Amino acid sequence: MRLPLIPLSMAIAVFVAGCASTHGLAPASQPRDADTTLATRQSFGATSDARFPQQDWWAAYGDPQLNALIEEALAGTPSLAAADARVRQAIAQAGLADAARKPTLGASAQYLGLLVPKTIAPGDFGGEYQGVMLLGLDFKWSIDLWGAHAAEWRGALDQARAAEVDAQAARLVLASNIARTYIALALAHDAADTAEAEAARAANLASLSEQRVKAGLDNQLQLRNAEANVAGAKQQAQAAQQQADLARNALAALLGKGPDRGRAITKPALLQAPAPGVPDVLPSELLGHRPDVVAARWRVEAAGERIHVAKAAFYPTVNLNAMAGLASGHLSDLFSSDAALVNGGPALSLPIFDGGRLRNNLAKTDAEFDLAVADYDQALVGAVREVADAVQSARALETQLATLDQARDAAQSAYSLATARYKAGLGTQLDVLAAQRPLLQFEQQIDALRAQRLQATIDLQRALGGGLAIAHPVELSSN
């Protein structure tokens, strides 16, 4: 006859809970739409025949050693191990949130002893030691009336998904850093080759100048200038070798290995940069290819679930607790029918006056949602900008390379002509040195521009998501 009192109590509780109100509290922002707020396809120079990168995008550069280095790194480095550990941690946290919304049942065995002084309990009870043995099953369940536990679980699962995408992003960053460092190594070798070629040309001129001095056709000034040019070219070759050694050390570190691994890396093959291409489905399709953007969106979803949890805290909670077991002061009586012990029932709790704790907690979660939205919007804006920067840089560098090739060809013709005139006795060595200096400078500039052109294409591959197939962690049961 007393069962109707429970729903009546709950109705009263819901009414009284109105003392703590969510009125006036809500997030201030929503994630922006990429296509309508960021850019047009024309701003990228996008084309319908362009595609997103392949998963092994680095293979397009045509260097087997680069392919092997990236594959070795992706097989396992400390940075990837840390990212994978964070994924397992997030999935375990989601599992804890899932377990918290389900009932639990446990068994216990306990012995309790009690000695009450006669000053408190006179008579037969006071002054006598009493021992009780307990065997029982404990049942607990926090009923999810308002969906708070489910929302907390969904939010934890969203965080796990974000962590898994972050792990994929770590692989993309690692691969692109290896490719960029490998190009730096190629540039160092090209610079060394250019400097060594210049040293050989300068040495030939110095030898010729020495012969002309002995013949009385030149003076010591021309000879010393030639010798200085030889020394300068050797110094540039030494500096290039130092840069190559540093690049090898950097590559070894990216592989998670020591410097000895770097020494085994040979001179890079001639890298060919693929032409820059941007799919015409940008920027909206970028959301599904960029791991940082995908992870940021999952965090927005997780923040939204935390708002649900914070709102549910304004309402009553009902917990079911029950214990069934056996209790006796003597082991011989523990399994008798008279030893049965049952205890339990629903417990209801509700907020009435909390000093503003619940409203401030909801305001905090609203602000966290707005922060997650801002991070997502910033990630999207940054992704679009990186694509535009990489495309524009690659195309601008192509134009500069074409212009510089023309300048280098002209400098080469001038140098050849000055050398021929010098050998024929129609010019001076100063003419040769003057013609030689811009040729060396153009060679160095071309090497640097080629490296920048290659790095711009790597930046584009990374900006487009690097061909990653965005996957999710193992789905946890929702039962």
Q: Is the bond leading into 4 cis (omega within 30 degrees of zero)?
A: no
Does 155 or 277 have the greater pLDDT score?
Answer: 155
Number of domains composing the chain: 2
Domain containing residue 204: CATH number = 1.20.1600.10
Percent of the chain exceeding pLDDT 70 equals 83
Residue 113 lies in a domain: yes
CB 147 within 8 A of CB 437: no
Does 179 or 196 have the greater pLDDT score?
Answer: 179
Residue 10 lies in a domain: no
Q: Do residues 388 and 268 both lie within one domain?
A: yes
Rounded distance, CA 460 to CA 393, Å?
A: 10
Does 20 or 304 have the greater pLDDT score?
Answer: 304
Average pLDDT over residues 85-91: 88
pLDDT at 422: 81
pLDDT at 306: 92
Domain enclosing residue 139, as ranges: 103-143+316-349
Rounded distance, CA 476 to CA 165, Å?
A: 17
Rounded distance, CA 174 to CA 60, Å?
A: 17
pLDDT at 476: 38
pLDDT at 36: 57
185, 196, 278: which is closest to 232 by C-alpha?
A: 196
Q: Do residues 208 and 107 both lie within one domain?
A: no
Distances (CA, A) of 198 to 137, 193, 260, 444: 88, 9, 31, 11
Percent of the chain exceeding pLDDT 90 equals 15
Residue 241 lies in a domain: yes
pLDDT at 374: 92
Q: Do residues 259 and 226 both lie within one domain?
A: yes
Residue 281 pLDDT level (bands cut at 50, 70, 90): low
Q: Do residues 137 and 286 both lie within one domain?
A: no
Residue 340: pLDDT over 50: yes
Q: Do residues 243 and 255 both lie within one domain?
A: yes
Rounded distance, CA 183 to CA 67, Å?
A: 13
Residue 475: pLDDT over 50: no
Q: Tokens for 16?
A: 């009284």
Residue 286 pLDDT level (bands cut at 50, 70, 90): low
Task: Give the range with max mean pLDDT: 156-160, 190-194, 430-434.
Answer: 156-160
pLDDT at 133: 82
Residue 356: pLDDT over 90: no
Rounded distance, CA 27 to CA 304, Å?
A: 9
Q: Do residues 394 and 302 both lie within one domain?
A: yes
Q: Do residues 107 and 95 both lie within one domain?
A: no
Residue 282: pLDDT over 60: no
Residue 68 pLDDT level (bands cut at 50, 70, 90): very high
Give the list of residues 6+ apart from residue 452 with CB closer than 8 angstroms, or none: 393, 397
CB 137 within 8 A of CB 324: yes
Residue 224 lies in a domain: yes
Residue 234: pLDDT over 90: no
- Count of residues in the chain: 479
Rounded distance, CA 141 to CA 102, Å?
A: 7
pLDDT at 477: 38
What is the 3-class SS of 311-349, one letter each residue?
Answer: HHCCCCEEEEEEEEEEEECCHHHCCCHHHEEEEEEEEEE
Residue 251: pLDDT over 90: yes
Residue 302 pLDDT level (bands cut at 50, 70, 90): very high
pLDDT at 248: 92
Residue 450 lies in a domain: yes
Between helix 148-214 and helix 78-100 the angle, nearest 10°, is 170
Give the list of residues 6+ apart from residue 445 with CB closer than 8 angstroms, or none: 404
pLDDT at 278: 66
Residue 269 pLDDT level (bands cut at 50, 70, 90): confident
pLDDT at 42: 53
Q: Do residues 159 and 34 both lie within one domain?
A: yes
Residue 7 pLDDT level (bands cut at 50, 70, 90): low
| Residue for token pair 């850019």 | 39
Average pLDDT over residues 380-387: 85
Rounded distance, CA 449 to CA 187, Å?
A: 10
Does 60 or 248 have the greater pLDDT score?
Answer: 248
Q: How far apart are the first and last CA of the chain?
A: 34
Residue 36 lies in a domain: yes
Residue 178: pLDDT over 90: yes
Domain containing residue 130: CATH number = 2.20.200.10
pLDDT at 35: 58
Q: What is the mean pLDDT of the chain?
A: 80
Q: Do residues 368 and 443 both lie within one domain?
A: yes
Q: Give how far the C-alpha of residue 447 lies from the chain's centroid of Cα atoms, to the nearest Å.
A: 31
Q: How many helices (H) and strands (E) does the chain have?
A: 10, 4
Identify each DSSP E strand in 157-205 by its residue range.
Answer: none
Q: Tokens for 288?
A: 């599904």
Does 273 or 283 have the greater pLDDT score?
Answer: 273
Q: Average the pLDDT over each of 277-286, 409-418, 421-430 and give the range with the smallest value.
A: 277-286
pLDDT at 177: 92
- The pTM for the full model equals 0.76
Q: Do residues 251 and 335 both lie within one domain?
A: no
pLDDT at 325: 82
pLDDT in tens, 124-157: 766 777 778 888 888 888 888 888 889 999 999 9
For residue 145, the 8-state DSSP code is: S
Rounded distance, CA 166 to CA 466, Å?
A: 13
pLDDT at 110: 85
Does 237 or 475 have the greater pLDDT score?
Answer: 237
Residue 5: pLDDT over 50: no
Does 105 or 25 have the greater pLDDT score?
Answer: 105
Specify the 3-state DSSP secondary structure of 233: helix
Give the list of residues 6+ apart from residue 192 with CB closer than 8 angstroms, or none: 237, 240, 241, 244
Q: Do residues 72 and 219 both lie within one domain?
A: yes
Does 475 or 374 have the greater pLDDT score?
Answer: 374
Is the C-alpha dihedral spanning 232, 195, 395, 64 positive or negative? Answer: negative
Does 218 or 359 have the greater pLDDT score?
Answer: 359
Q: Do residues 182 and 307 both lie within one domain?
A: yes
pLDDT at 479: 38
Q: Which run of H or of E encompasses 157? A: helix 148-214
Residue 14 lies in a domain: no
Residue 475 lies in a domain: no
Residue 80: pLDDT over 80: yes
